[in-house]
Amino acid sequence: MFKFYYHIVKKYASRYLLLIILFTITNALSLVTPYALKIIIDQTIPHGTYSDLVQIILVLLACYIIRIGFSFYSGILYVNVSRKIVADIRRVLYKNLLNKDTSFFKESKTGELIYFLTSDVDKVQNFFSSTLLNYINNAMVVVGVISVMFYFNVSLTLVSLAILPFVIINTFMLKGKIKESYHQLVDIEGNIYNYFLERIRNIRVLKSYNAFPKEIQTLDGYHDQWRQHAVKNTYWNGISSNITTFLIAIGPLIVLLYGGKLVYSKVLTIGTLIAFIQYLNRIYAPVISLAAGVNEFFQSKVSMKRIYDNIDPNQENEPEGEVVQEVHSIVLKDVSVQYHDKVILNHFNYTFRKGKIYGIKGKSGIGKSTMANLIMKFVKSDSGEIYINDIPLERVKNLYSITALIEKENQLFHDTVSNNIRYGSEENKNIELEEILRMSSLTEVVHKLENKENTTITFSGSTLSDGEKQRIAIARAFHKQPDIIIFDEATASLDINLEYSIIQSIKEKLPNAIILIISHRNNLNEFCDEIIDFEKITHENNTKLLVTS
């Protein structure tokens, strides 16, 4: 898992190095002030002149200005690197999610997937940028301060650092509790994400069934769980951090007791003791941060694993295969599909040839859409083979460039009408948008919109009827001009005459395309060359298809 993340982060090694150099310089400059204070108290004021004091103050002022400048630049560099890491991780995760079978999305909670892409990615980025860099920075501060403290007085340094082993022991004793509580908190946050997404998507159901009171109760239940896990996580984090704070707070008391004795014994000067206490104060925040960083790491590790579990590292490799220039045939040979002990297709055989329109009918759940999903590589068969032009389907590299799937469900994006039509394909110079609108029977509809084809429509397509939404999806297929077009109940919201007109337009414009029309309607004979009736398929001998011309 860490090897995977390392390959993402290593490209920014030079910027990490620059940040570490900037940290080193600013940390070194931060060590100047206490030492200068020691010189002022022990030497300049008792034995020097006012001019000497002014010179030391000017040196300190210069150090402050340089530190501010370096800190400002390192802050900009840090944000730049951290956002690039977010983009890289999110791109890899998104690409992997898009390449998963559609069954994965049916069985997964959409809210959890969004949580992966947002909050989990942010937490991982926070570790590789903020937590990791802060760890390096704080470690340098601790090493630098301890070095100066040893330079001042070895015995006093050893006494003041005696509490650090207890701080480390405390941090690691509670890491298991912190990790467990955080994991539970992340899970419930993902459930809340999914809850809101589902309810907003099904707002019409909520209103029509007057389910608001029950939904508020459900949300309160989620929030109760969320609050309980948040309190539990804060409880264990609080115990760890407060014990650490208490242990570190003992440090100055020890220094004052032992250091005061050294001053009375003339072994240590007052200026050295004051500088020593200042250095010790500067080590507290880094040490606490280092201890907290361990907990942050274990929390980030939970998100790292959640992301990594949904990533196939091989996805980044370019798949081997062949490019199909023109589709002549689709062959399903002895294909079987089973889902949760239910046989959907059993030794299914059929050949689809270019230039023909195929009507596919049958009752719901009998395997019509499954066959379409097999051809689109959305699902995999349990046995059998699918070929395009005698090339195994899994070896076709440009499958989604030569196919278009139009489904009954809403397939719109929050964008302009023209961008919705052009979505997923390059600009086609062989066909004008006006012609696409005409072929899809959309000309009158689009011209009535406020900004015509530049009108922005919402994801739900609230300004359009169901039939108009489907026609935009059909227009998208026209624009792409694929070799294979699959209508999966995509004309259900169109009247019969409009459906016939659109099919005829496709036949005229794409005479060599293989067109599959999945429908419950009985008018398929009017425009289809062949009809595949799934009602006549027997699972004992699936080759007995009723095919009519």
**Contact in structure between 242 and 170 (CB atoms under 8 Å):** no
Nearest to 386 by CA among 349, 333, 346: 333
Predicted confidence at residue 474, as pLDDT, reads: 86
Predicted confidence at residue 385, as pLDDT, reads: 92
**Contact in structure between 512 and 355 (CB atoms under 8 Å):** yes
Degrees to nearest 5, angle at CA 24 with 287 and 54: 100
| Distance (Å, whole) CA 355 – CA 190 | 48
Which structure tokens are listed for 186? 């992340």
DSSP 3-state assignment of 396? strand
Predicted confidence at residue 541, as pLDDT, reads: 42
**Contact in structure between 235 and 180 (CB atoms under 8 Å):** no
Predicted confidence at residue 538, as pLDDT, reads: 44
Phi, psi (deg, nearest 5) at residue 402: -110, 5
Nearest to 85 by CA among 129, 119, 120, 130: 129
| Distance (Å, whole) CA 348 – CA 81 | 53
What residues are paired with 255 via a beta bridge? none
| Distance (Å, whole) CA 538 – CA 514 | 25
Predicted confidence at residue 539, as pLDDT, reads: 43
Parts of the chain with a pLDDT under 70: 101-103, 106-107, 110-111, 171, 204, 291-292, 295, 313-319, 410, 426-430, 459-462, 492-493, 537-549
Residues 4-50: tens digit of each pLDDT: 888 888 888 888 888 888 888 888 888 888 888 888 888 888 888 88
DSSP 3-state assignment of 530? strand
Which structure tokens are listed for 158? 């050893």
Integer CA distances (angstroms), 484 to 374, 386, 478, in order? 13, 14, 11
| Distance (Å, whole) CA 109 – CA 456 | 29
Nearest to 119 by CA among 308, 300, 309, 310: 300
Integer CA distances (angstroms), 274 to 57, 78, 260, 527, 530, in order? 18, 34, 10, 95, 95
| Distance (Å, whole) CA 487 – CA 375 | 13
- Tell me whether strands 484-488 and 456-457 are parallel, antiparallel or unpaired: unpaired
Q: Kind and range of the H or E element at 195?
A: helix 175-201
| Distance (Å, whole) CA 336 – CA 374 | 10
Which structure tokens are listed for 68? 């501010």
Predicted confidence at residue 543, as pLDDT, reads: 43
Q: Set out the domains of the chain in order of their start, with CATH numbers.
A: 2-314 (1.20.1560.10), 329-548 (3.40.50.300)
Per residue, the 3-state secondary structure of 319-363, as one string, reads CCCECCCCCCEEEEEEEEEEECCEEEEEEEEEEEECCCEEEEECC
Which structure tokens are listed for 88? 């890289």
What residues are paired with 546 via a beta bridge? 533
Predicted confidence at residue 387, as pLDDT, reads: 93
Beta-sheet strand order (sheet of 329-339): 342-353, 329-339, 383-388, 391-392
| Distance (Å, whole) CA 186 – CA 369 | 36
Predicted confidence at residue 459, as pLDDT, reads: 62
**Contact in structure between 370 and 344 (CB atoms under 8 Å):** yes
**Torsion angle, CA of 146/151/153/156, rounded to 10 degrees?**
0
What residues are paired with 20 via a beta bridge? none
**What pTM did the predictor assign?**
0.63
Write the single-letter amino acid at 4. F
Predicted confidence at residue 461, as pLDDT, reads: 54
**Contact in structure between 186 and 122 (CB atoms under 8 Å):** no
DSSP 3-state assignment of 520? coil
Nearest to 81 by CA among 26, 135, 125: 125
Burial class, 533, CB count within 10 angstroms (exposed 0-12 / middle 13-18 / buried 19+): middle
